[in-house]
Structure 1
Amino acid sequence: MQENAQSGSIRLTVEDNVATIAIDRPERKNAMTQAMWRELTSLMGQLAADATVRAVVLTGQGNDFCAGADIGEFDTVRGNAHSARLYEAENSAAFSAIRNCPVPTIAAIRGICFGGGFGLAAACDLRLGSATALFCVPPARLGLAYPVDAMSDIVHAVGPQMARYLSYTAARIDADAALDAGFLLEIVEPTGLERRASELAAAIATNAPLSIKASKASIRASLTQTRQDIDTATTLGDATFESADYAEGRAAFREKRPAIFTGR
């Protein structure tokens, strides 16, 4: 994995076991083109396969997180039912790649977080917002509908009543309302957003990777209650007890020193 990579309008950096993906199209409020959805899915797949990556931060360049899909493309890429379904599948693939990433994902949100941008944030495990953050789920104003998997992320992130309110009214809510709804973990001053996201990612990256992966899988299983997710979580949890990291954690506790975890 390259430590620094950029292609199109998505920028990737990897440092100290933490990957940062920045949506880099600030002149369009980081609106996602069809090519960008594909690139994001590909990058998340690469990170999921990289054993050295222990946390992923998703953010936007400039003053905004993401304005969602680029509506300027819709006449071409969503001009009829067939093309719309294909486009929706690419949206869903990006949400799924974030949702199913084996390591924790953190959204660092400032400014606009609308539509597909809201979906990207909802697919993340943890969400930090600046005081400038503004949220909206606007499909009702466009005559569209969210795919079921994306709506499931939103329901899990804000609860069913707030999900109904946002999707029925297309209302905008500020950071305080998003915090009250449980969508945001914290509100951070704009100048400190990246620093706080980095601190949180570093704290995660310092802990035992196998334990973190097992916890993420177990939380997912508790939400979905599917047999496949329950089996996956059980397998990952059982593996921690046979790991070198478990032995290292016990030894570090006895010796009153910080543990050094290797993910094995």
Structure 2
Amino acid sequence: MKQSHSFATGLIKAFCEAGTGLLVLDNPQRKNAVTAAMWRAIPDAIHWLHVDAGARVIVLTGGGHADFSAGADISEFTELRKDAATARIYEASNSRTFAAIREAPVPVIAAVRGICYGGGFGLAAAADLRLASSDAVFAVPAARLGLAYPADAIQDFVRGLGSQLARRALFTGAALKASELLASGFLSDVTGPEDLDQRAQVLADTIAANAPLSLRASKLALRAVEQGDDDLLREAEIIGASTFESADYREGRNAFAERRRPVFSGR
């Protein structure tokens, strides 16, 4: 059964079916620019998808089939980001959102088409896997606007782009093509615009069919290695060890012996 929920007065939409979640930035008339309300809502949407709807993987994309996101809604900056004090409050919300994607218990896939700028680029960078259509264009124009990108979110650009390309993106503000980011490893695949949704769906469904505890242990271990975090590594080790006592491990062994596809319960 397909479940759905909207957040931020409909600007964030969440759907889940058969363990595959979809989180849509649905502000297409503004190229899916992320308003302050949307920044606040995205962590809630991720929580709803994983906890309430039972998503085992989440696909993050833009509404309207034209753009992923033009980034933060600049029209709000006059009031919400007018000085250092208001900027700190605004950016704390941004940081919570990036962290919610980065630290989600389930894998997050960014499916990017069209414009992917600024905070939109940051959302994609925080994801675990990224696919893009051949017309996707990426940029971090903060330096051209006279502001600094949130410091704690820079880790996602370095992790995804590598040191040199992250510096180029941040220092120049220049646009990067999908083909460049595929070559750099930031993107795992580039498709024709008409194929992006299907390719993301196939990848998500493949992941959702696997054992949830195994996915969680792998995601934690990857984060631990990337961040050099010993506490995360110990947590990953504990969850990894628990898989050997799980019903899913028994199901995996039985399915292999019986030459059938396993049906995992997450227990």
Structure 1 and Structure 2 fold alike (TM over 0.5) = yes
Shorter chain as normaliser: what TM range?
over 0.9
Aligned: 1:247 with 2:235? no
Identity %: 50
1:24 aligned partner: 26
CA contact (8 A) 2:16 2:53 kept: no
Deviation, structure 1 residue 51:
7.2
1:160-218 Cα offsets, whole Å, 9 max, x none, are: 11000000000101110111111111001111111111110000011111111111111
Quick one: structure 1 residues 104 and 239, their matched pair in 2 at CA, closer, same or farther if it must change by over 3 Å?
Answer: same
> What secondary structure is seen at the aligned counterpart in 2 of 1:107?
strand
Deviation, structure 1 residue 52:
2.1
Which of 57, 60, 84 aligns to 2:59? It is 57
Which residue type is aligned with residue 256 of structure 1?
A: R
Deviation, structure 1 residue 253:
1.1
CA contact (8 A) 2:50 2:56 kept: no
> What secondary structure is seen at the aligned counterpart in 2 of 1:30?
coil
CA contact (8 A) 2:14 2:49 kept: no
1:36 aligned partner: 38
Which of 79, 89, 92 aligns to 2:92? It is 89
Aligned: 1:14 with 2:16? yes
1:146-167 Cα offsets, whole Å, 9 max, x none, are: 2232100110001011000000
Deviation, structure 1 residue 47:
2.7
Which residue type is aligned with residue 186 of structure 1?
A: D
Quick one: structure 1 residues 2 and 92, their matched pair in 2 at CA, closer, same or farther if it must change by over 3 Å?
Answer: farther
Which residue type is aligned with residue 52 of structure 1?
A: G
Structure 1 range deviating more: 209-218 or 43-52: 43-52
> What secondary structure is seen at the aligned counterpart in 2 of 1:180?
helix
2:117 aligned partner: 114
CA contact (8 A) 2:142 2:149 kept: yes
Please list every run of at least 4 consecutive aligned residues from structure 1 whose deviation after the TM superposition is greater than 6 angstroms: none
After superposition, the CA RMSD in angstroms is 1.3
- Counting only pairs closer than 5 Å after superposition, residues 136-151 of structure 1 correspond to structure 2 as 136-151=139-154
> What secondary structure is seen at the aligned counterpart in 1 of 2:187?
coil
Distance (Å, rounded) in 2 between the aligned partners of 1:3 and 1:251 = 31
Distance (Å, rounded) in 1 between the aligned partners of 2:143 and 2:123 = 18
> What secondary structure is seen at the aligned counterpart in 2 of 1:241?
helix
Segments of structure 2 that go 5 or more residues without pairing to the other structure are none
Deviation, structure 1 residue 2:
7.9
1:72-129 Cα offsets, whole Å, 9 max, x none, are: 1101000111100000000001101111100000001000000000000001000000
1:226 aligned partner: 229
Distance (Å, rounded) in 2 between the aligned partners of 1:141 and 1:232 = 41
